[in-house]
Structure 1
Amino acid sequence: MVHEGVLLESQTLRASVAERTDVLDRVRALSLLPDGLHVTTRMVADYFEVGERVVNRLMQRHREELTQNGMRVLRGSELDVFKRDTLSLYEQSRPQPRSNLTLYTRRAVLNVAMLLRDSEVARAIRRYLLDAEEASRAPRAGEPVDDSVLHSLVTWLDERIERTVTDRLAQQDARMARVAEDAVRTVIGQTVVPLLNHMIEVCGENRREISGMRGEITRIDRALRARMPDGGMAAMDAMTWREFEDHVAGLCRRDGCPSVANTSSNSDLSADLVGRTADGRTLVVQCKHFAPFRRVESGEMQKFIGMARVEYDADVALFVTTATFTPAATDLAVRHGVTAVHRRLLERWSAGTRLPVLRQP
C-alpha cells in the first residue's frame, strides 16, 4: 500500500482522494457548527488534538489549496450575519472577540488531515484513507489491470521507508528514525512524487470509470448529476446571482412552464422571473442567491407578496433561495399562498422532483 507520508508531499494525490470526507467520522466524530456545514479553527484544532497556532500556521502555508477545498475567512458584515444566525449558542459557551472568523468545510478538514504532520488523529486518517483507496483500486474478476507500474512503485516506496525507520528504531534512536524518515521524504518529493503524480493523471480516467460502477451511492450520484449537470448545491452556491436566476428559469421550463422571462435587468420590482405555467396560470418568481447560513427576512417576503399580487396579479408565486427563511417569513408565505423554496427543497427540485404548485390542478 502507499505509505501515508506520501500524502504530505503530493498535492496531486491529495486532490485525488479529496472527496472521501466519510473517513473523518470513521476515525473520530467531527462536530459541526449549528449550520451543519462548517467548523472553526478551534474545532479543527480540538479534532486533531493540536493547538490553534499549529492549525493557523498550516493554513498560512497552504492557504490556496485549503481555499480550493472550501476554507473561507469571514469579515465585516458577513461575519456579523454569521455570528447572529449561526454562532449565537456556540459563542455563549466559548465567548471571544473576533474581527474575522476562519471556517472549514468537511473537505477542508480532510485536507488539513493530509497536511498535518504532528497529529496521531491525522496520521490515522491518512492510513485509513489510503487503505480505502488501495481497496478501491483492487481489480475485480474480468477487469483489466492497467496500473501495475504504480502499484510496484508505491510498494517499493513503502518497503523502503519502513525498512529505514525499523533499522533506526532497532538502535533505540527515535530522533535518528525521524531524521531518516524525513530524508526519505525529501527523496520522495524530488524524484518519486513527480512520477507518482504523472501515473495518477494517466490512470485517473480509468479509475473514475471503475468507481462509477460501484455501489448504490455511486448509482444515485450519477442519476442526480444526469438530472442536473451543474453538480448540486455546491455548484449553485458557486454561481453568480445571474447564473442562479438562469438556473431557476431552466427548472421552471423543465417542469412545463413554456415561457419564463428574466425581468431583473429592466425592472426595480421585486420579481426576477415571470411567465406562465403549462395550464396558463401567471407565474412570478423571486430569486435570492444567499450564503447558506443566511436567512430570508419577513420584510423581503412582504415586499415580494405585495408586488406578486398587486403588480403582477400572480396565480403562482415562488420565492426561491439558496439559504433558508425565518419563521416569520415562512408564516407570511403560508398565509398569502407563496411557495417558499428553501435550500433543501431547492436541492430536491434541482435533482428532478417537481414542485407540486407547477403541476396542472
Structure 2
Amino acid sequence: MLDEIVLLESSSLRASVAERDEVLDRVKELALSPDGLHATTKDVAAYFEVSEPVIRAVIHDHRSELQSNGYRVLSGEELSCFKQLCGIQSRSRSIGIFSRRAVLNTAMLLRDSIVARQVRTYLLDSERRQAIEPVDNLIHRLKEWIDTRITDALARHPAAPDDAEAARIAEDIVRTTIGTAVVPVLNTAIRNDGDQRARIEALEDEVTRLQRILREREAGSMGALDAMNARQFEQHIAWLCRRDGCDPVTVAGGRGDTGADIVAYTPDGRRVVVQCRARTAAATITSGDVRQFIGMAKLDHRADIALLVATCPFTRDALLLAARHDMTAVHRGLLEAWNGGVKLQAFRH
C-alpha cells in the first residue's frame, strides 16, 4: 500500500500513479491556459498556494522527472504563439508550462503545501479504494455467457432435443468456448501475472530501500545527515523546526531564495529565518559566511531568530561574530544535539 512519505521519496512510486490527475479537481479548480491543456508556473503556484520561487525550486531539483510528465519550457516562435493565444504581455524569452500530469507530479514533490498534501491524501485514498474493490469475477461472467449460448443453440434446433442430445450440444459449446476463449485468456493472464509480479518485486525493493533511509534518519545519526544532499538536508532541518513547535514552516531553498532556505514561526509568533549549509565535516563556516547571512536575515527577511545550520564546525571568529549579532550558530556539535532531541535555546521563551 502506498504511503505518503514513501511517495514523496520515490520517483518510481510517483510514476506508478502519474496518470491519476483527476484527483487535482477533487481538491480545487486548476486554472489552465486558453488551450485547456497547460498551466504556467504562476498558475501552479496559485493552485498550491505557494510562491513562484518554491515552484521553481521544485523544477530545479526534479526537472527530468517533471519533463517526463509533460513540463516544457517554451521559447522562440512557440513562445510567441503561446503568448498570443493566452494574451500574455510579458517580455520573458521563455515560459515554463505544466501539463496536468506535471501538476500532479508537483503535488507529489511539494512537502510544505497544504493543498499538495490534500492532493496526496485523495490520491492515496483512491489507490486504497481501488486495491480493495473486488475484481470482476471472470468465471461467473463466463458461466452466464455459456448458458446464453446453450439456450440459443437449443432454440435454433429444428426439433425439441432429448436430454442426451441437449447434453451433447451443451458439451460441444463448452469445449469450443474453452478452446477459443478461455485458454487464450488464461495464457494472457499468466503472462500479465508474471509482469505484475516483477513490477511488484521492483516496487517492494524500492520501498525497502526507502524504509532503510527513513530508519537511519529517525535514528538521529550524523552519518545520516552527512549522506543527505542539500535539498534533503533543508527538508530535515524544516522537520526539526516543526518538531520543536514551529508552524507554519516553509522550505524555499533553491534559486531565488535570497539566502533564506527556511522561513518559520515559533508558537509565540517570532519569525525564524534559516540558512542550511550541507558541507563535509572537514570544512568550516567562516566569519564571511556569518556576515553575509546576518545582513540577509536581519535586513532582507526581518528575522527575529536567525539560524545558520551547518554539518561542519564554525571558526572562532565566526562564532564570536554570530554571538555579537544575536545569531544562532548551529555548528556540527550543536546540530548533533538538536537532531538528537535537544531543543535549541533560541526557540525557548
TM-based fold match above 0.5: no
The alignment's TM-score, normalised by the length of structure 2, stands at 0.40
